[in-house]
Structure 1
Amino acid sequence: MKILDRYIDQLIEQSTPESPVWNIEKIREGSNSTWNYIDGCMIKAIIELFLITRNHRYLDFADAFTGRFVREDGSIESYDPKEYNLDNVNAGKTLFDLYELTGKEKYRRAMDTVYSQLKEQPRTSTGNFWHKKIYPHQIWLDGLYMAQPFYMQYEAEYNGCKNCEDSYQQFLQVYGRMRDPLNGLYYHAYDDSRQMFWCDKVTGLSENFWLRAMGWYAMALIDTMEVMPESMACQKARLNAIYKELIDAMLPYQDQATGMWYQVVNRGGIAPNYLEESGSAIFAYAIMKSVRLHY
């Protein structure tokens, strides 16, 4: 724990909203820091550390960092909902905790700003959100992590659960269309229009099973189940079964020496494929959290 404390302390001490050390590539390019999914992941993690430790240094940092972008009227600097980019929804997940913990009304208003994107987000013929406006007709596994936990929580807490079923159905569409029934793995992307160069013209699916994409999907399932209302017990049980199938499908491909997985999951040991750290860490997170929550 002391090593983790030192690492987190270093991140906090060396980071500002304008120059976070975990997203330094953009700064080195000379670009300004913006509202983005990477910061959303990190600030959510720091808030979780506060909830575990009750060390107000973590909450103060998260509040100052996110508060730098969120204006009093709920608008968010550098964020345009009409870009219809699901990646930009992810940071919205921090707003629920920050509103509850600080009582600042600007965070409640900012939730509405992020939700306004999802109300108008273009959809495929299956009813799924496009991953981005610039990627029309496409579903990516990443997008379920970026958008669905926020969507489900907002609906459950602030919209009378009117569209909770819609969020659930988007998972079922991915399960039915993007999962390979032979090995239980998921293709990274699906093009509903069958126009993209990377997709199979019959199925619309991309070619490979990408580790990190399936990791995003595993986390999406866990994080969405966590915020589902009690009235959706049957739907939650179905997502839980889908999650268990995914983990069972992944285990045969796990490298026994390291416990990690390969970047292209089912092509282990074939150069230039390699054991990949971030996707392996994502699955560690998902599995540990699912055990803690008894999923």
Structure 2
Amino acid sequence: MMDNKTNEKIRAYFEYLLDNSTAAAPMWNKERILYGVPNKWNYIDGCMITAVLALYEMTGEERYFQFAKDFVDFFVKEDGHIETYNVKEHNIDNVNAARNLFYIYDKTGDEKYKTAITQVRSQLDSMPRTKEGNFWHKNIYPWQVWLDGLYMAQPFYMQYETRFNHMENCLDSIHQFENVVRLMKDPKTGLYYHGYDESREMYWADKETGCSPNFWVRAIGWFCMALVDTASVIDESLYYEFRFLTKTLEELVDALQPYQDKSGMFWQV
């Protein structure tokens, strides 16, 4: 656990970011500011707004919710259209930010957020898939599955299906996790390779397995959180599927332990 002094420093930095950020120019996505590129709907902002909403839940301070809502409203217009978001781009990263819309919809009851949720959900209907059934990472990365893509799409997918679609495709979400375990898990270490290319055409893809050559702890972290966040929104009737997600997480956390430095940090590659 972190000491109080460290916690205070983190909180102060967080407040600094919020005080100096707008949806048009967020400090945590500084590359866009430096290069003079207009901000657009993206997963980096989505993750940060998830953190802001979590802080609101912890503290009850209304200013955090208001910041998150104002940020989202910069993109989500009154008719529910998401400015700068393009379904046909088929970028799995762009699904992530829509997770925050569930929370804001529940708190406000404003139907524009549900309309926006439905717009993002429509991307998954036309999203290209591997032959095994997993979403491609992006149109520009055909036949590829990346660990981070599970985090970007599956918690949203599971939550939508559970809440708004009578759980029709919940097992499809689970199946995509099962494919990752089967195709991307290293049997020797228990770790997961960052990428998988079903076509075996990418220069980094092993011609036999289709996997990339390295274990990347950031990608493994994304996958851990995909398991956590998907399990947190799955319906209780899917007990065995829930246990599959939690067991997969437990095994992965155990597999990571030998790669933790004495400082407490994990090796990056």
TM bin, normalised by shorter chain, reads: over 0.9
Work out which of the residue numbers 72, 86, 96 in structure 2 matches 1:66: 72
The aligned residue for residue 182 of structure 1 is 188
In structure 1, stretches of 5+ residues that fail to align are: 265-295
Q: Distance in 2 between matches of 1:149 and 1:81?
A: 18
Task: Give a deviation string over 1:145-199, Cα, whole Å, max 9, x none.
Answer: 0000000000000000000000001000000000001110100000011111110
Q: Which residue of 1 aligns with 2:264?
A: 259
Work out the CA distance in 1 between the residues paired with 2:29 and 2:107: 26
Look up the SS of the partner of 2:237 in the other structure: helix
Partner SS, residue 231 of structure 1: coil
| Cα shift at 1:7 | 2.3
TM, length-normalised to structure 1: 0.88
**Cα drift, residue 8 of structure 1:** 2.4
Give the CA deviation at 1:5: 3.4
Match of 2:4 in 1: none
Matches within 5 A, 1:75-94: 75-94=81-100
Using the alignment, how far apart are the partners of 2:126 and 2:136 within structure 1? 11
Query: Greater shift after overlay, 161-170 or 73-82?
Result: 73-82
Q: Secondary structure at the match of 1:92?
A: helix
1:230 to 224, 233, 236: 236
Q: What is aligned with 1:165?
A: 171
Cα distance in 2 for partners of 1:131, 1:71 equals 27
Gaps of 5+ in 2: 1-6
Shift of 1:104: 1.7
Structure 1 moving runs of 4+ over 2 Å: 1-8
TM-score by length of 2: 0.96
Count of aligned positions: 263
Alignment RMSD (CA, Å): 0.9
* Cα offsets for 1:106-130 (capped at 9, x unmatched): 1111000100101111000110000
Inter-partner Cα distance in structure 2 for 1:231 and 1:133: 34
Shift of 1:73: 1.9
Q: How far off is 1:2 after superposition?
A: 4.0
CA distance in 2, matches of 1:212, 1:5: 23
Q: Which structure 2 residues correspond to residues 212-223 of structure 1 after superposition, within 5 A?
A: 212-223=218-229
Deviation of 1:72 after TM superposition, in Å, equals 1.8
Match of 1:154 in 2: 160
- Corresponding residue for 1:116? 122
